[in-house]
């Protein structure tokens, strides 16, 4: 039986999509009845450290009873890649970028869509309205549901 699982979510700025995935995933993990301790965090490919999650992300998460006000953006680094058992990106371009820099992670990186949904990318809501964030959140949740189902079947 698995004693722990470490999951890293990656997007561009680490203020929207990956933050939502980080916040939502523990719920789907528990819903699936997954064993062991879950470690989940997020990072960005084009961010500086220390940025808060976007206002729209915080509002959306608060409406679902989740609080990520303490979140601060983190640039992806080698230690994060090494530590993660699973790395999920929001787009195929994110995955490609990471693989170019960390080719040894090939067996543990997927886009959310390819591992847990229909293969599509999660559109970046940054700069858009709350409806754009809701659409991204819906896509993320659907993929996370698929991811936990797949992980459960592989255990």
The catalytic position among 5, 16, 17, 121 is 17
Q: HEC profile for 85-127?
A: CEEEECCHHHHHHHHHHCHHHHHHEEEHHHHHCCCCCCCCCCC
In the DSSP assignment, the letter for residue 75 is B
The catalytic position among 72, 101, 121, 124 is 124
Does the active-site annotation cover 105? Answer: no
CA-closest candidate to residue 125, choices 20, 7, 42: 20
The catalytic position among 5, 11, 16, 74 is 11
Does the active-site annotation cover 11? Answer: yes
Structure tokens at 131: 């409806």
Does the active-site annotation cover 17? Answer: yes
Catalytic residues: 11, 17, 124
């Amino acid at each position: 039986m698995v004693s722990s699982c470490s999951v890293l979510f990656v997007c561009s700025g680490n203020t929207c999509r990956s933050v939502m995935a980080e916040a939502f995933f523990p719920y789907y993990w528990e819903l699936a009845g997954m064993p062991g301790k879950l470690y989940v965090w997020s990072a960005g490919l084009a961010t500086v450290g220390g940025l808060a999650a976007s206002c729209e992300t915080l509002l959306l998460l608060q409406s679902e009873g989740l609080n990520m006000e303490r979140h601060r953006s983190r640039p992806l680094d080698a230690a994060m890649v090494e530590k993660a058992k699973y790395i999920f990106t929001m787009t195929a371009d994110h995955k490609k970028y990471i693989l170019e820099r960390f080719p040894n992670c090939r067996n543990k990186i997927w886009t959310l869509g390819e591992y847990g949904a229909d293969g599509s990318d999660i559109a970046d809501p940054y700069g858009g309205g709350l409806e754009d964030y809701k659409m991204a959140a819906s896509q993320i949740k659907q993929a996370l549901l698929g991811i936990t189902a797949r992980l459960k079947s592989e255990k």
